[in-house]
Structure 1
Amino acid sequence: METTIKKTKKQFDAIKVMREIRDKMSLEIMNMSYEQEREYLDKILLQGKCNVAK
C-alpha cells in the first residue's frame, strides 16, 4: 500500500507575515526609549493600521 502526500501551495502564510511585521517593527523601535516606543505604538493604533485594542 502506497501513501501519497498531496502538497498544496498556501495562498496566505500567516506565520511568515507575522514574522515580517515583527521584524520591521523591531528595526523601527530598536533605538527608541520606552516613551518613544509607546508614542510610536499609540500612533499606529490610532491610525487603524492594527486591529488590536489597547
Structure 2
Amino acid sequence: METIKKEKQFDTVKMMREIRDKISSETQNMTFEELKAYINQQLADNKSKLIGQQ
C-alpha cells in the first residue's frame, strides 16, 4: 500500500510552540504578581475570560 503525503496548509503544533515560546520569553523573569498582572492584561486585551468564570 502506498502512502499519500498531503502538504499541510496550517501546522497547529508549530503555531502552538511559537506562541508558547513567545509567552515564555516575555514572562521568564517575572515575579508571581507580575505574571498575574500579565495574564489579566492579556485577557483584558483579548476580551477573554478564564475558564469557569462568567
TM-score w.r.t. length of structure 2: 0.82
Q: Which residue does 1:37 correspond to in 2?
A: 35
Misfit runs of 4+, over 6 Å: none
Residue 21 of structure 1: how far off its partner (Å): 0.3
Residue 32 of structure 1: how far off its partner (Å): 0.4
* Superposed CA RMSD: 1.4
Residue 4 of structure 1: how far off its partner (Å): 1.0
Identity among equivalent positions (%) equals 42
Q: Which residue does 1:48 correspond to in 2?
A: 46
TM-score w.r.t. length of structure 1: 0.82
